[in-house]
């Protein structure tokens, strides 16, 4: 059983049935978290925490924070595989402290501002206001989107995902247990990571260590939403 609250463009309860959303909707379901300035959606079932700041036309990346507040990415809890995005050390400097019960701020290169944040099994990811993707944590199955040279397969701090995303502006991200999906402003979906159950959607069962564009049968419609479960994925188009 679920409850849906319909909000008007001012973020107030409208008290009427909710029609389908479009990319340019000014009204929103609370469950889809699209109020006019800042929204927050927590979806524990898919292990996803999504923050989306909307300013004006959300069909393109937000390139600055003039006139509005700046979002920060914070994390807490278990950091055994670097998934908190900060290097943890014990009181004497040794790398022994692996959990945090209070929040720590995650920083990004060039002061990039986070817009979406998602959590996978033992890794995390962020989409910035300029449409870039950063990931960190455990990456042994390719879920971080880049090849790691360290034996541990861990990346303790945010590192940008490039490859096929180098010239793509991303608007949303979703993380499964060991795989990742992103949605571009052009309506394309890219996936990478573990593919043991075919969760990447590429027609095989090979792990994908770097982003690869999804090519599905059934037309050329643009994608509008993405979601990931433990070992599966879904999208709307």
Share of the chain above pLDDT 90, in %: 57
- Say whether both 159 and 213 belong to one domain: yes
CA atoms 189, 144, 227, 173: torsion sign: negative
Give, for 28, the enclosing helix (H) or strand (E).
Answer: strand 28-29
pLDDT tens digits, residue range 137-190? Answer: 999 999 999 999 888 899 999 999 999 999 999 999 999 999 999 999 999 999
- Say whether both 103 and 203 belong to one domain: yes
- Say whether both 220 and 130 belong to one domain: yes
Which phi-psi region, left, alpha or beta, contains residue 43 (left: φ > 0; alpha: ψ -120 to 50)?
A: beta
Q: How many domains does the chain have?
A: 2
- Say whether both 28 and 143 belong to one domain: no
As a whole number of angstroms, the distance between CA 27 and CA 198 comes to 36
- Say whether both 191 and 170 belong to one domain: yes
Are residues 71 and 108 in contact, defined by beta-carbon separation less than 8 angstroms? no
- Say whether both 114 and 5 belong to one domain: no
CATH number where 187 lies: 2.130.10.30
As a whole number of angstroms, the distance between CA 183 and CA 32 comes to 16
- Say whether both 173 and 160 belong to one domain: yes
- Say whether both 44 and 115 belong to one domain: yes
- Say whether both 55 and 140 belong to one domain: yes
Token pair, residue 145, equals: 């989107």
- Say whether both 2 and 81 belong to one domain: no
Its domain, for residue 196, covers: 38-63+70-236
Q: What is the pTM of this model?
A: 0.72
* Helix, strand, or coil (residue 127): strand
- Please, what is the end-to-end C-alpha distance for the chain in angstroms? 25
* Helix, strand, or coil (residue 193): strand
pLDDT tens digits, residue range 44-102? Answer: 333 333 333 333 334 455 444 444 568 999 999 999 999 999 987 754 444 456 888 98
As a whole number of angstroms, the distance between CA 189 and CA 199 comes to 13
């Amino acid at each position: 059983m679920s409850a849906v609250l319909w909000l008007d463009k001012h973020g107030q309860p409208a008290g009427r049935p909710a029609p389908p959303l479009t990319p340019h909707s000014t009204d929103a379901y609370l469950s889809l978290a699209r109020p006019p300035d800042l929204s927050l959606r927590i979806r524990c079932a898919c292990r996803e925490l999504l923050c989306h700041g909307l300013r004006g036309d959300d069909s393109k990346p937000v390139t600055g924070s003039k006139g509005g507040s700046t979002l920060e990415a914070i994390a807490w809890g278990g950091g055994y595989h670097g998934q908190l995005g900060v290097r943890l050390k014990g009181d004497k400097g040794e790398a022994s402290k692996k959990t945090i019960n209070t929040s720590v701020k995650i920083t990004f290169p060039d002061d990039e501002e986070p817009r979406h944040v998602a959590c996978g099994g033992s890794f995390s990811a962020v989409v910035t206001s300029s449409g870039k993707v950063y990931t960190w944590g455990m990456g042994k199955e390719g879920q971080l989107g880049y090849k790691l040279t360290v034996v541990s397969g861990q990346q303790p701090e945010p590192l940008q995902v490039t490859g096929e995303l180098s010239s793509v502006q991303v608007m949303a991200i979703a993380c499964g247990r060991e795989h990742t999906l992103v949605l571009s402003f052009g309506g394309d979906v890219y996936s990478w990571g573990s593919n043991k159950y075919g969760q990447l959607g590429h027609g095989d069962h090979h792990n994908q260590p770097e982003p690869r564009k999804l090519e599905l049968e059934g037309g050329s419609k643009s994608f509008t939403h993405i979601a990931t479960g433990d070992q599966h994925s879904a999208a709307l188009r």
